[in-house]
Structure 1
Amino acid sequence: MTQLRKFKIKWILIHLLLFIYALTIIYPTLIVIFNSFKSNQEIFSKPYGLPSSFSFQHYIQAWQEANFSVYFKNSILITFISVILVLVLSSMAAYILARFKFRGNFIIFFTFLLGLMLPLRLAIVPLYLLLRDLNLLDTYTGIILVYTASGLSFSIFILYTFFKNIPNELIEAARMEGASVFQIYYKIMLPLVRPALSTVAIFNFMSIWNDFFFPYIFLSSEDKYTIPVGIASFFGEYTTDWSLLFAGLTISIVPVIVLFLIMSKQFIDGLTAGAIK
């Protein structure tokens, strides 16, 4: 068997596996979108078929009557602020740990890495008591601080490697020009690690946007519910309006798709940078 034939067979097998994987992701998503246009009766009669008509009535009803606009606003607020805080704090910490040598440098970095080994959910009881004592239960501030803390370990781990691989000559040249430590960080280092920042932003956005556990534990007021907790309230004790549920799920997918389309190039660069180096 020639090398060219082996390469073609390998190429076909790889793309076949990728196609199957993509199909397992796309097909359920299409089912959710199509069912959002159907009535409950039509959903049960032909759950995998196309809707008889494309009406946005269920979206309007979910947005206005089912309080979904409040859940959407809460998710946007909590996710956006949490991701921004994670990006700022993790980039500053990773920059200092990667570019400066001082006593306890490795210990601090290893402490952050422990966050990757120990799931934060294991500490839910002391965390709940801590937020209670600080009067941060059922507040945006409390849940944002939890998300920020939970995202730092992974983010610092990713950004540390990128900061570490930046040539020292760039920093030395900036220092000779009179740039301060913060100016080097803000004007030189951050632009160079944009792929890593995009990777960190997308991963944290997905994790926070789809999280049900922490909002369910720490938020008790319905006007502060995020989308996952709000959608769970669509399930009634005796009956469920599936058309509204699927409409809500479809709306919740849109920001994730938009974010990925905007940052996809930087995200892919961030994932492949280590392989290229």
Structure 2
Amino acid sequence: MSVVAPAATATTDSPVLAQPKGPRRSTGQKPVGGVGASILLWGYAAIALVPLLLMVVSSFRTNADLITDPLGLPSPVSVESYREAWTTGSFATYFGNSLLVTVGAVALSTVVSTMAAYALARVHSRAFRALESLFLSGLMLPIHLAILPIFYLFDGLGLIDSRFGLALMYGASGVPFSIFVLTTFFRQLPAELEEAAALDGASPWQTFWRIMVPLVRPALATVAVFRFVPIWNDFLFPLVLLRKEEKYTLPVGLTTFFGENATNYSAVFAGLVITTIPLIVLFLVATKQIVAGLTAGMSK
């Protein structure tokens, strides 16, 4: 009697091929807030550009044309106002003073704030938390409210009419904001980077300058730009703390074109254009770093 073995059943271990899908339709990225928000933003940008365009157009007109027809077009185009502002109006000297004070203040504030922010972000103690709160409390008081104490302090230190003293004051006033921004960035960096650098034989100073500082470059650019603009445009402190005309900055130097009986409007507009050009160049050069600094941590 023979036994018949049952037929082997087929296994279902073989993978099942997925059915091909149709081509995906590429959807364009929709603007945030919809079309209405985009129209409003473009409209606001156009309105904001009108004063700038009017300033540039007026700088190529003569003073007589501006008095008779303030909103007219330059006919013919004249660059005499720029020559007068740069040479006769001593704008070359004012430009150098503004560059010296602003760059010095931003560099001083950024270097000091970077080192302080790194220490505050890495050392966990009550004393350092209290010190961080003390620094951040400087954001609560506008620096212009302290103009009288600063004047008496500078008078006692012999820093009145000193561009170096003015740069020191601007640098100190920018420390709270810079620490506030940079501390947040340093805290986002993993501690494993410092441990790996220590295993490779790097000192804490080398770890800070060669590893940690390059990683927060967008934050440094953001801090530098946000400090450069208000210092470059400030009028009150140079007016109060500087005495000699050859030490004036650009905003104060513009007042030399306003006389008691007459005002050279074409030279004023040319001076405004000269004052605005460095800010435009700065934003064009640092736009990528600024956007990276402002949007860091917003996406996973």
What TM-score, normalized by structure 1, do the two folds share?
0.94
Q: 2:94 aligns with which of 56, 71, 75?
A: 71
Structure number with the higher helix fraction is 1
Q: Structure 1: state its 5+ residue gaps.
A: none
Equivalents in 2 of 1:189, 1:87: separation in Å? 15
Q: For residue 249 of structure 2, what is the aligned residue in structure 1?
A: 226
Counterpart residue type for residue 187 of structure 2: K
| Alignment pair present for 1:160 and 2:183 | yes
Counterpart residue type for residue 115 of structure 2: M
Q: For residue 249 of structure 1, what is the aligned residue in structure 2?
A: 272
Q: For residue 20 of structure 1, what is the aligned residue in structure 2?
A: 43
Give the % identical residues.
48
| Alignment pair present for 1:131 and 2:141 | no
Q: Structure 2: state its 5+ residue gaps.
A: 1-26
Q: 2:236 aligns with which of 206, 210, 213?
A: 213
**Structure ranking higher on relative contact order (CA contacts 8 Å, 6+ apart):** 1
Counterpart residue type for residue 247 of structure 1: A
Equivalents in 1 of 2:213, 2:241: separation in Å? 34
Q: For residue 267 of structure 1, what is the aligned residue in structure 2?
A: 290
Per-residue deviation, residues 37-75 of structure 1 (Å, max 9, x unmatched):
111222234333321122322101110001111111100
Equivalents in 1 of 2:245, 2:179: separation in Å? 34
Per-residue deviation, residues 226-250 of structure 1 (Å, max 9, x unmatched):
0001112221112100000000000
Structure whose alpha-carbon radius of gyration is higher: 2
Question: Displacement, 1:101?
Answer: 2.1
Equivalents in 2 of 1:169, 1:150: separation in Å? 34
Counterpart residue type for residue 172 of structure 2: A
Counterpart residue type for residue 181 of structure 1: P
Q: For residue 122 of structure 2, what is the aligned residue in structure 1?
A: 99
Decide whether the 8 Å contact of 2:166 with 2:241 is kept in 1. Answer: yes
Question: Displacement, 1:276?
Answer: 2.3
| Alignment pair present for 1:46 and 2:65 | no
Seen in structure 2, the aligned counterparts of structure 1 residues 34 and 186 have a Cα distance that, compared at 3 Å, is: same
| Alignment pair present for 1:87 and 2:116 | no
Per-residue deviation, residues 104-155 of structure 1 (Å, max 9, x unmatched):
1111111111110011222221211111111111001110111001111111
Question: Displacement, 1:103?
Answer: 4.2
What TM-score, normalized by structure 2, do the two folds share?
0.87
The alignment yields a C-alpha RMSD, in angstroms, of 1.6
Q: For residue 11 of structure 2, what is the aligned residue in structure 1?
A: none
Instruction: Give the secondary-structure state (helix, strand or coil) at the position aligned to 2:89.
Output: coil
Equivalents in 1 of 2:163, 2:31: separation in Å? 54
| Alignment pair present for 1:58 and 2:81 | yes
Question: Displacement, 1:179?
Answer: 1.2
Per-residue deviation, residues 197-245 of structure 1 (Å, max 9, x unmatched):
1110111100100000111110011010000011122211121000000
Equivalents in 2 of 1:83, 1:73: separation in Å? 15
